[in-house]
Amino acid sequence: MKKMIKHKNKKLEYSEKNKEVSELKKELIFLRIKKATKQNIKSHEIKKIKYKVSEVLRSMNLKK
């Protein structure tokens, strides 16, 4: 999983933010599948990714 710096979001353009949101959502889906199939995951990672998605979406809405 790549680590994202908070101030990085502010410098991304709208299309880049869309791309980042879709990548984070894909990662979230994979983690949920792993959880459903009882594979080893770190459950706090789901919360972190959800927070990152909301952070990017929030920054997109502020720019409008």
Torsion of CA 41, 43, 45, 50, to 10 degrees: 130
| pLDDT of residue 32 exceeding 80 | yes
Mean pLDDT of 28-52: 94
Provide the 10 A C-beta neighbour count for residue 21: 17
Confidence of residue 9 (pLDDT cuts 50, 70, 90): low
pTM here is 0.73
| Distance, first Cα to last Cα, the chain | 29
How do the domains of the chain map onto residue ranges? Answer: 14-63
Res 15: pLDDT: 85
Handedness of CA 25, 3, 20, 50 (dihedral sign): positive
9 or 57: which carries more pLDDT confidence?
57
Cα 64 from Cα 62, distance rounded (Å): 6
5 or 11: which carries more pLDDT confidence?
11
